[in-house]
């Protein structure tokens, strides 16, 4: 592994040279690409240099042990040798993890869609619970949430809610939330105290920029209409709602939450662009061999990924056999203990492929 260090040092120097050029700021896409490369290569060089130093220390310690005759010094040398071997093992593992090429979508913002599935009102209420969970988690990470559209029920749940989350490493943290989330609890509407099982579907779409995917105007059908749902000032009185239909794929996006037709159209375009981008990425993933699929799941919307059991205060992630008996804390937004093991599992799978 250390034989690659000179090449990485040279690569890092070349990146820094390009970044120091006055012309680089004129092309923000090139600048972002270089910064992404540097954030990958920099830590590799740093950890490899650390590994090289530890390896040299280990070699020196082994030589000293061979030449030593004093029993006390031999014992000390053995302890040092054992400690250095552990440090080398840890550093080697870190290097391997750092060598995994970063996902090009890692740093993207996302559009998250939460939809109630089986379970009626109870599923809609759990949709609202999941939205609050992700909102609280976003607050702890200083991320920004913007609701794109929502369909609220009389009991305060959501048949559907679509929102964007922007900030640092959003997609990298929440990418494994896609799938079916199953909840087991006694609904507030249940008088007999029976536990019901409901399901909610979550979709995590990397938010696509205009440079990521091109939408031709001739492929787009735009309809304007009056907004539906509860009335209010300016609602249902003007043609502010917008429906976009992407003719080649049949994808339809409706936006009506804003009073302005232009704002609704802009939001609809963001959602449409992200759905088309996700569709293209899903197609690419399917073309790859089965061996490249991570054990944490393929991101299939129909895959049951997690169970939230309220009577037992238990959360179980079925992809990595993770069970935590702190559901109440997790639902308040403390998601790190769920997200980090998923990241580690994905990294280990990527290492096996390498």
Establish if 231 belongs to a structural domain: yes
Segment (H or E) for 149: strand 144-152
- The whole model's pTM is what? 0.70
Closest CA relative to residue 109, chosen from 152, 141, 151 = 141
Question: What is the rounded distance in angstroms from the CA atom of residue 216 to the CA atom of residue 236?
Answer: 30
Establish if 291 belongs to a structural domain: no
302 and 201: one domain? yes
Establish if 140 belongs to a structural domain: yes
- Are 167 and 144 in contact by the 8 Å Cβ rule? The answer is yes
pLDDT band at 302 (very low <50, low <70, confident <90, very high): low
17 and 91: one domain? yes
75 and 133: one domain? no
- Please check the confidence at residue 294 and state whether its pLDDT lies above 60: no
- Final residue belonging to a domain, choices 99, 130, 164: 99
Establish if 188 belongs to a structural domain: yes
Buried b (16+ CB within 10 A) or exposed e, 105-120: bbbbbbbbbbbbbebb
Could you tell me what percentage of the chain is helix, strand and coil, using 3-state DSSP and rounding each to the nearest 5? 50, 20, 30
201 and 329: one domain? yes
Residue 260's domain comprises 217-285
183 and 158: one domain? yes
90 and 232: one domain? no
Number of domains, the chain: 3
pLDDT band at 101 (very low <50, low <70, confident <90, very high): confident
Question: What is the rounded distance in angstroms from the CA atom of residue 99 to the CA atom of residue 79?
Answer: 30
Tens digits of per-residue pLDDT, 309-335? Answer: 999 999 999 999 999 999 999 999 999
Tens digits of per-residue pLDDT, 196-234? Answer: 899 999 999 988 876 677 888 888 898 888 776 544 444
306 and 205: one domain? yes
* Residue 258: DSSP 8-state: S
64 and 28: one domain? yes
């Amino acid at each position: 592994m250390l034989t690659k260090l000179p090449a990485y040092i040279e690569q890092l120097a070349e990146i820094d040279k390009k970044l120091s050029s006055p012309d680089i700021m004129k092309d923000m896409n090139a600048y972002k690409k270089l910064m992404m490369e540097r954030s990958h290569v920099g830590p590799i060089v740093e950890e490899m240099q650390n590994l090289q130093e530890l390896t040299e220390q280990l070699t020196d310690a082994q030589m000293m042990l061979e030449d030593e005759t004093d029993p006390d010094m031999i014992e000390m040398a053995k302890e040092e040798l054992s400690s250095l071997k552990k440090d080398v093992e840890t550093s080697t593992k870190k290097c391997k993890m750092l060598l995994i090429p970063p996902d090009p979508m890692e740093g993207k913002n996302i559009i998250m869609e939460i939809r109630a599935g089986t379970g009626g009102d109870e599923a809609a209420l759990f949709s609202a619970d999941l939205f609050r969970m992700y909102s609280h988690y976003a607050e702890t990470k200083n991320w920004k949430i913007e609701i794109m559209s929502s369909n609220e029920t009389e009991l305060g749940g959501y048949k559907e809610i679509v929102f964007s989350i922007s900030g640092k490493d959003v997609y990298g943290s929440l990418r494994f939330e896609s799938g079916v989330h199953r909840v087991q609890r006694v609904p507030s509407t249940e008088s007999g105290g029976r536990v019901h099982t409901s399901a909610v579907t979550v979709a995590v779409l990397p938010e696509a920029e205009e440079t990521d995917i091109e939408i031709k105007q001739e492929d787009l059908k735009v309809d304007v209409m009056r907004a539906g749902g509860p009335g209010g000032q300016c609602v249902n009185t003007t043609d502010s709602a917008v429906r976009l239909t992407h003719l080649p794929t049949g994808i339809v996006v409706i936006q009506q939450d804003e009073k302005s037709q232009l704002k609704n159209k802009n939001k609809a375009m963001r959602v449409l662009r992200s759905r088309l981008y996700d569709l293209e990425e899903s197609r690419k993933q399917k073309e790859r061999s089965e061996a490249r699929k991570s054990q944490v799941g393929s991101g299939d919307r129909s895959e049951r990924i997690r169970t939230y059991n309220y009577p037992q205060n238990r959360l179980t992630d079925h992809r990595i056999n993770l069970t935590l008996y702190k559901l109440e804390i997790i639902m308040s937004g403390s998601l790190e203990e769920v997200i980090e093991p998923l990241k580690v599992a994905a990294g280990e799978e990527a290492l096996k492929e390498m």
